[in-house]
Amino acid sequence: MQGAASGASAKDDKVQTAIILNCAGPQVLEVYDNIVWENAEDKHKPEKVLEALENYCNPRDKEVFELHRFWNTPYQEPFEKFLTELKTRAASCNFQEKDRMMRDNIVFTVTGKLQELLLRVDGLTLEKAVKICRAYEQSNKQVKEFRDNSNPSGSATRVNKVFQKPGPRVPRSKKSEGVKRHTKKDSEGRKVNCNFCGYEHERIKEKCPAWGKTCDKCKGRNHFKSQCKKVHAVSHSQDGNADYDD
């Protein structure tokens, strides 16, 4: 606006350039003197001078950072999201062979079976790499769906086991006591013909009438005379049916 008001915009290009440099100061003039011009006439054109000064003041240092971001793009699913991220970052890197760089980045970033499939292809291009990655991702989804549909009850059982509340834990000592009480209860309910007293009673020694008694024949303990083995041995010997064996 000031140049138009003073009539500078109507002057020759060289005069306009001189006015710009004079107003900018000695530091800008030093920069101007060190600029390498592709066309010698551009150094006298005001618009070219301003463009060169702007490029000097705002260098494209971001290109190095964008390269760093491009080569460190992490792989993510779905593959289309990863591919879109690569395209966006490659656009800021000023690649001369952008497709080749994107192809290499894909091969370097993926792992496992997918990387092995890509390395097997001769003359791998970006288009081929993208097709392989898409097909691989789709086949993995289908295999997973087949597995899930083939065993629905098994998956439900695993979920129930995970969320099922465990019952109260019984100490081992209490478990053994319970087994003993159960065994004792079973034995109390059954009756047997006792070889020590000759009567029928529960299979418990304290229930036997002969328990703690003394035999009148042999003076042994815990049996009656009628059940004494020595008595039976003698009677059999007298009958001639058996020999007495002490």
Residue 104 lies in a domain: yes
Percent of the chain past pLDDT 90, that is, above it, reads 26
End residue of a domain, out of 150, 172, 200: 150
pLDDT digits over 191-203, tens only? 778 888 888 878 7
Residue 156 lies in a domain: no
Residue 132 lies in a domain: yes
Question: Phi/psi class of residue 245: alpha, beta or left (left: φ > 0; alpha: ψ in -120 to 50)?
Answer: beta
pLDDT digits over 121-169, tens only? 999 999 999 999 999 999 999 998 888 887 765 555 555 555 555 556 6
Residue 97 lies in a domain: yes
pTM value > 0.85: no
Please tell me the least confidently modeled range out of 62-71, 74-83, 114-123, 129-138.
62-71
According to DSSP, the β-strands at 200-202 and 191-193 are: antiparallel
Question: Residue 51: what pLDDT?
Answer: 82
Q: Is the pLDDT of residue 205 over 70?
A: yes
For the chain, what is the domain count? 3
Question: Residue 102: what pLDDT?
Answer: 95
Residue 193 lies in a domain: no
Helix, strand, coil shares, percent, the chain, to 5? 65, 5, 30
Domain that holds residue 141: 62-150
Asked if residue 130 lies in contact with residue 83, where contact means CB atoms within 8 angstroms, the answer is yes
Residue 38 lies in a domain: yes
Question: Residue 130: what pLDDT?
Answer: 95
